[in-house]
Amino acid sequence: MTDTAATFAAVFVALYVAHAVGDHWAQSSLQVATKGRPGWTGRLACGRHVLGLTVTKAVVLVPVVVVLDLSVHALGLVLGLGLDAASHYWADRRTTLARLAGRCGKAEFYSLGTPTHPDHPITSEGNYAPTLGTGAYALDQSWHMLWLGIAALIIAAV
Q: Which conformational region is residue 155 in: left (phi greater than 0), alpha (psi within -120 to 50 degrees), or beta?
A: alpha
Query: How confident is the model over 47-68, as a mean pLDDT?
Result: 97
pLDDT confidence of residue 68: 96
The angle subtended at Cα 134 by Cα 131 and Cα 135, nearest 5°, is: 155
Query: How confident is the model over 23-40, as a mean pLDDT?
Result: 93
Query: How confident is the model over 27-50, as a mean pLDDT?
Result: 94
Higher pLDDT, 94 or 135: 94
Q: What are the extents of the domains in the chain?
A: 2-157
Residue 99 and residue 66 in contact, taking contact as beta carbons nearer than 8 Å? no
What are the tens digits of pLDDT across the range 65-121? 999 999 999 999 999 999 999 999 999 999 999 999 999 999 888 887 777 766 666
pLDDT confidence of residue 25: 95
pTM of the predicted structure, to 2 decimals: 0.87
Query: How confident is the model over 113-132, as a mean pLDDT?
Result: 68
